[in-house]
Amino acid sequence: MFSLIFFAGVVVATSLGALPDCGKTPIPPDESRIVGGKIAIAYSWPWQVEMCMDYGWGSCDLRCGGTIIDEQWIMSAAHCVDGYED
């Protein structure tokens, strides 16, 4: 029984090391603070999205940012979508 539990622990520990670094940007930032702000390199923060309102003339009215938490879900602040039905 002990050897089975030990083997299962080794398998779990080995598989955890193979997981990708979720939540870590593949492109290291130059600084650790936002002070001054800089334009981000495209695709360096793949879980961050821009939420905007399209009024139909091809422009985007910036509303807020959001974070992808699943294939069909984006999490954002409530005030970003307050008053919008769709």
Amino acid at 84: Y
Tens of pLDDT, residues 28-81? 665 555 666 677 777 787 888 888 877 777 777 777 889 998 889 989 888 887
Model confidence pTM above 0.85: no
Domain ranges of the chain: 40-86
CATH homologous superfamily of 40-86 equals Trypsin-like serine proteases (2.40.10.10)
